[in-house]
Structure 1
Amino acid sequence: MARHASLAEQLSAFRRYVTTPDHDPEPISTNWTVTPANDNNPEEVAELRHERKRIVTPSVAEIMRHVKEGDVERNDAGQIVRIGKLRFSDGKQTEKAYRLTIDGKIEQYDARMPTGAMLGTRDKVDTALGGAENPQEVTESNIYFAEMLDTRQHKYVTGKKFRGERVKTTREETKRELAEAYSNTDMTKVTFIHYPDGLPCGSAKVADSFLGMQKTTCSGGGSTMWQDIVSEREERKEWLDAVGNMANDHLEILTMSAKASSLKQIGIARGYKGQYAIEAGRRLLVAANDNFQQAMELANYAKDPKTT
């Protein structure tokens, strides 16, 4: 058995001493509602809201643009039926609409549009709203990456729907074209331009290009079960009882060892020097570990005398 592996196996109690938290376990809280989705109790669902994006077409800005720049068309009766691309009813047009029947069902019918009503409009509830990106924060994030990586400032380049026809060439054809270009070029007159390092331009936010910085879903998570919290509290109490039953010298050694970087540092703290400090640190740590192990067994026995 390897020497270091043997020592590590002996210090199982010390590992528990180091990894045990110095505070009581805290239950996980959440601001999510615990009301079932199909709960119809008015008192429980009264405060629940679901914000959604509302799309109005055409928008107010689009309407004002046509009013300002569009030409006006009137019918024979002098009614305005068009302003730019906006069309208006003269009282004869209909559009699809919905209404409730006598038995409470919904039916579709052709609703006559009143005179002067805008035709082809839409007022629809679309996708659910979420947290929007703050443009100032995005800009500061991009500047941070540029300064950290010592590159040019980020510039977002939008993609194009049509990039032209793609020409497929083989490796041999490409080599031949390059060789022909080199033979027809006077390299003494060629100016080489070295472009500075840059950042990806396919996204408005540079951080999106670094996958390691993205938060993704996982199969774990969720609130801690109350049984686990009770078990952790019992283990914490057992650990405190064991520490209270330890000798002061051994407790100081364990506390010092948790912060020490080597066995030699433990030995030097106890007055040993040179090579003797390493061996002394080993003996002191093993003795403190055994004392803590015995204290844990006593604490476990005090909690349940039937435990052997």
Structure 2
Amino acid sequence: MRQSKSRFERGPEVYSEVLRRNVPGPIIRIGNLRFSDGGQTERCMMAGIDGEPVAGSIRMPIGSMLGTKEQQERPLGGTGASPGESNAWFCDAFDVCHHEYVPGGKRRSGRSFSRDEAAAMLAEAIANTPVMPEVYQCEDGIAAGTARYADNFIGMKKAPKGSGGSIAWQDLSDKIAEREKWEEIERSLSDEDLTVLNAAANAKSYAEIGLAVRQSPEYARRKGGRRALIAANDNLMAAISAATAA
């Protein structure tokens, strides 16, 4: 027989081998939380015979909570920190004061003014103000356009695959320099060398390379294509060495 008291509920009495008498059963409910009495099973993922994960059922131990599921505390690559902890870290890192995020509310739709119109309206307002209010200088801080300061630093964020949210300017600068250097190398090569190198990227034989530079089929098949590729490769390596040394 189950005993019920307020929102606390136990299972039936069980015999204890240690005490050699019946003892109160395990707790099976506290409010809306349900616990196992040893007779329930739940669906789960388990290792199969071949070691691969498969769906199955597992018997819940006595006292274990029912109807719950495990979830990652944080996305892969994140820190799991709350907005308050994250904002405090950025304030300490930049040595600035912390300011709470204030939502802007609903945006009102209306007429948009041009830059000249806005300047004229400001000048008119200043002219109609006999005593200008005192100007206060705000303390140094971080733009609080969102609840998380981290949104201002996309490059410091980690995506679910571990990659950064934005390309660092150093990497971007290196890529631009490499592209300019490669364009310089291409300009130093002859049209025939470029044709041979482009053909070699998809060619299945030396003959196809030779035919790309208008060699006869027989000569291209025997040795012309190979000679053309070796010559173009040597010229390419020389151009790379010259560009690197510059």
Q: TM-score, normalised by structure 1?
A: 0.28
In proportion to residue count, which structure has more helix?
1
The higher relative CO (CA closer than 8 Å, separation ≥ 6) is in: 1
Q: TM-score, normalised by structure 2?
A: 0.34
